[in-house]
């Protein structure tokens, strides 16, 4: 699963504006019920897509084997069509289902929540322990993200807009599903089963500031056919690659040429992975890579040709984070860890999928390169902070492989479960690699600083343990869920001491890997490890359910911004420094 937008850039853009003041089937089967993570009872997807990269569209077929692990019969199955998330009634769906069959029989299905929720009526009631195989034919058009929407300036202005706006700011799915400049990201691009606890209730998707992607672990075999000159990256290892060949959907002519818009020949690549919480495919032109080995996993960094130095640095950061987290939390859940540079739309510094961390191209800034002289002074002056945030973002994304992918959570009702833990983990990474002094500084900058900047801009402290739909915008979400929530674990570490604290984290990870954790599960892991359970319970209560942020984190010095000065005036100096460059995107390419 992947989180809501990561607004770590707040820590250097908004704080930069005030830094001087701070001075710093076929039919039904017969198998008996088994534990949900047994291979015989895990959901299994077999997906094939024919991708017309140049026209940003694809057709596909999904075969799903589902076993009812519930205690009651099921008469229908719910699927999420995540590419349609956030669309209005007037919008044409990005992902459309043409036909669903089981054992050769066509099934009835319906759509709701603006085409984001698919309900399939089963041919007969599916009893506990029984299985069914469904085949779904689907097609999609991939929405385009313009270059101007992905620039560093666009990211900056998005955050400023969030800071100034009091309106709710819902998101669409273009963070995970888009066609950008020389690249395409297909995150959860297929009809994906809703979690098991959401199969027996009436379900609607709420539009909110964060993404609501959640799912049970499943096994995947995904085949992608597209232009052979493209680099195809996926959530799992490539197990087979074939050259030009005919295919079921007829996108090759007799000479092996694509007849669907591609100018080259097609190649078929098959990827296979187990116990994945969803699946993503990235398709990129002119991409380079660097590779390393860490533990039992293979680590790869993919980057543009012009960003080789930063791409290799990203690999080092990812490997360092991997080593810290394996030692501190437990074994990495997969055999592959990838960091991929892509042109993410403004508002997202990184997105996570199983085995893959996608980092915004806008933040691959090499301040040592001659082209950096073309950047506005406001950015060059904050180069140290931007470099630090780049490393923090990668450390955060890698941490989400532990908290969010291996250990699942309810991203709608309790987003702090993975968001806050990953934020704390990224701060702890700096301590483990560089020493406690820098670790404390990162906590001040990325956690306390984000909350205080939010408060200085007029934000109000609220409880961290709230549904994601209750947060007004990404600025509030970052300050409360990720920053204030992350500081919960700083407080727990102080209360329990290092030995008991990390023992509790390792136990939580071990017991909940490839399962969906709950707030009670997390709380009980720490309470059972504590010498003073009542005091530990009080820490959870204070940081998650009470509004004590100013008292515990530190109230911002509001005298820095006189009461009669508006938010716009408070941020005005930033715009003055940007000046005329606001009319064009930042681009370091010659």
Please state, rounded to an integer, the average pLDDT across all residues of the chain. Answer: 83
Is pLDDT above 80 for 200? no
Decide if 188 is inside a domain. yes
225 and 92 inside one domain: yes
pLDDT at 373: 83
Dig out the tokens for 8 from the structure.
């770590």
466 and 334 inside one domain: yes
pLDDT at 182: 92
pLDDT tens profile 372-407: 888 777 777 778 877 888 999 999 999 999 999 999
pLDDT at 166: 63
The CATH number for 253's domain is 2.60.40.1730
Domains in the chain: how many in total?
2
Is pLDDT above 60 for 31? no
Q: Which of 312-326, 447-461, 524-538 has the lowest mean pLDDT?
A: 447-461
Q: Which of 183-192, 301-310, 581-590 has the lowest mean pLDDT?
A: 581-590
The CATH number for 399's domain is 1.10.390.10
Decide if 590 is inside a domain. no
| Residue 115: domain span | 43-145+184-200+217-287
401 and 259 inside one domain: no
pLDDT-derived band of residue 37, with 50, 70 and 90 as boundaries?
A: low
Half-sphere exposure at residue 516, Cβ-oriented, CA atoms within 13 angstroms: 21
Is pLDDT above 50 for 579? no
Half-sphere exposure at residue 345, Cβ-oriented, CA atoms within 13 angstroms: 18
Helix/strand/coil for 256: coil
Q: Per-residue pLDDT averaged across 133-147, rounded?
A: 95
Decide if 444 is inside a domain. yes
pLDDT tens profile 477-528: 999 999 999 999 999 999 999 999 999 999 999 999 999 999 999 999 999 9
Measured in residues, the chain has a length of 590
231 and 306 inside one domain: no
Q: Which residue has the higher pLDDT, 457 or 531?
A: 531
Decide if 178 is inside a domain. no
Decide if 542 is inside a domain. yes
401 and 279 inside one domain: no
* Cα–Cα distance measured from residue 202 to residue 204, given in angstroms and rounded to the nearest whole number: 7
Decide if 541 is inside a domain. yes
Alpha-carbon radius of gyration of the chain:
24
Query: Across-strand partners of 62?
Result: 47, 136
Domain boundary among 287, 308, 324: 287
435 and 526 inside one domain: yes
Domain boundary among 252, 271, 287: 287
Percent of the chain with pLDDT over 70: 79
432 and 467 inside one domain: yes
pLDDT at 179: 95
Decide if 510 is inside a domain. yes
Half-sphere exposure at residue 153, Cβ-oriented, CA atoms within 13 angstroms: 17
How does DSSP assign 172-220, residue by residue? -STTTEEEETTEEEEES-S-EEPPGGGSSS---PPP-SS-------EEE
Is pLDDT above 80 for 101? yes
278 and 413 inside one domain: no
470 and 483 inside one domain: yes
Give strand ranges (E) for 7-130: 43-52, 57-67, 74-80, 95-102, 105-106, 109-112, 117-126
* Cα–Cα distance measured from residue 50 to residue 186, given in angstroms and rounded to the nearest whole number: 13
Is pLDDT above 80 for 247? no
The model's pTM: 0.86
Domain boundary among 260, 287, 314: 287
* Cα–Cα distance measured from residue 547 to residue 382, given in angstroms and rounded to the nearest whole number: 32
Q: Per-residue pLDDT averaged across 296-325, rounded?
A: 95
pLDDT at 178: 95
Decide if 529 is inside a domain. yes
Is pLDDT above 70 for 79? yes
51 and 114 inside one domain: yes
pLDDT at 8: 44
* Cα–Cα distance measured from residue 109 to residue 119, given in angstroms and rounded to the nearest whole number: 5
Percent of the chain with pLDDT over 90: 60
* Cα–Cα distance measured from residue 221 to residue 216, given in angstroms and rounded to the nearest whole number: 16
380 and 274 inside one domain: no
Q: Which residue has the higher pLDDT, 141 or 286?
A: 141
Minimal CA–CA distance to 348: which of 68, 115, 9, 1?
9
Q: Which residue has the higher pLDDT, 93 or 22?
A: 93
316 and 428 inside one domain: yes
């Amino acid at each position: 699963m992947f989180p809501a937008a990561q607004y770590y850039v707040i820590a250097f853009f908004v704080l930069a504006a005030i830094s001087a003041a701070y001075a710093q089937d076929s039919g039904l089967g017969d198998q008996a019920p088994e534990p949900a993570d047994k291979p015989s009872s895990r959901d299994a997807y077999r997906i094939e897509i024919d991708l017309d990269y140049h026209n940003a569209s694809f057709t596909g077929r999904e075969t799903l084997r589902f076993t009812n692990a519930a205690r009651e019969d099921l008469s229908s199955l719910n699927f999420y069509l995540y590419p349609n998330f956030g669309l209005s009634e007037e919008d044409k769906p990005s992902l459309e289902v043409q036909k669903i069959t089981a054992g050769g029989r066509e099934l009835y299905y319906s759509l709701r929540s603006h085409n984001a929720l698919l309900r399939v009526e089963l041919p007969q009631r599916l009893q506990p322990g029984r299985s069914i195989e469904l085949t779904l034919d689907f097609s999609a058009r991939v929405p385009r993200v313009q270059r101007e929407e992905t620039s560093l300036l666009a990211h900056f202005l998005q955050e400023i807009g969030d800071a100034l706006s009091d309106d709710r700011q819902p998101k669409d799915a273009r963070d995970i599903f888009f066609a950008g400049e020389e690249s395409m990201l297909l995150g959860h691009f297929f009809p994906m089963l809703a979690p098991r606890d959401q199969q027996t209730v009436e379900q609607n998707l709420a539009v909110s500031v964060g993404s609501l992607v959640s799912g049970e672990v499943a096994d995947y075999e995904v085949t992608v056919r597209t232009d052979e000159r493209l680099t195809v990256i996926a959530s799992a290892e490539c197990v087979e690659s074939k050259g030009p060949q005919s295919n079921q959907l007829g996108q090759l002519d007799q000479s092996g040429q694509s007849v669907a818009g591609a100018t080259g020949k097609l190649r078929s690549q098959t990827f296979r992975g187990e116990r994945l919480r969803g699946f993503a495919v990235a398709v990129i032109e002119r991409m380079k890579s660097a590779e390393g080995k860490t533990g039992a996993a293979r680590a790869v960094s993919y980057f543009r040709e012009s960003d080789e130095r930063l791409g290799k640095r990203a690999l080092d950061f990812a490997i360092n984070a991997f080593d810290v987290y394996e030692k501190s939390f437990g074994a990495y859940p997969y055999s592959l860890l990838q960091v991929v540079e892509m042109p993410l739309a403004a508002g997202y510094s990184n997105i996570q999928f199983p085995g893959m961390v996608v980092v915004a191209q806008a933040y691959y800034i090499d301040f040592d390169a001659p082209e950096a002289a073309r950047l506005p002074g406001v950015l060059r002056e904050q180069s140290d902070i931007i470099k630090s945030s780049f490393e923090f973002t990668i450390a955060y994304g890698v941490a989400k492989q532990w908290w969010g992918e291996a250990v699942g959570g309810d991203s709608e009702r309790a987003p702090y479960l993975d968001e806050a833990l990953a934020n704390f983990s990224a701060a702890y990474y700096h301590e483990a690699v560089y020493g406690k002094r820098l670790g404390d500084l990162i906590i001040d900058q990325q956690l306390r600083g984000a909350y205080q900047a939010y408060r200085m801009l007029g934000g109000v402290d609220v409880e961290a343990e709230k549904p994601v739909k209750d947060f007004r915008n990404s600025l509030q979400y970052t300050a409360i869920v990720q920053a204030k929530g992350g500081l919960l674990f700083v407080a727990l570490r102080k209360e329990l001491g290092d030995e008991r604290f990390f023992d509790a984290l390792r136990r939580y990870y071990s017991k909940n890997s490839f399962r969906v954790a709950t707030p009670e599960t997390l709380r009980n892991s720490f309470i059972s490890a504590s010498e003073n359970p009542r005091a530990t319970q009080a820490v959870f209560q204070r940081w998650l359910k009470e509004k004590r942020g100013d008292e515990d984190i530190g109230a911002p010095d509001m005298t820095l911004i006189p009461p009669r000065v508006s938010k716009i005036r408070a941020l005005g100096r930033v715009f003055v420094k940007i000046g005329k460059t606001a009319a064009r995107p930042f681009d370091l390419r010659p």
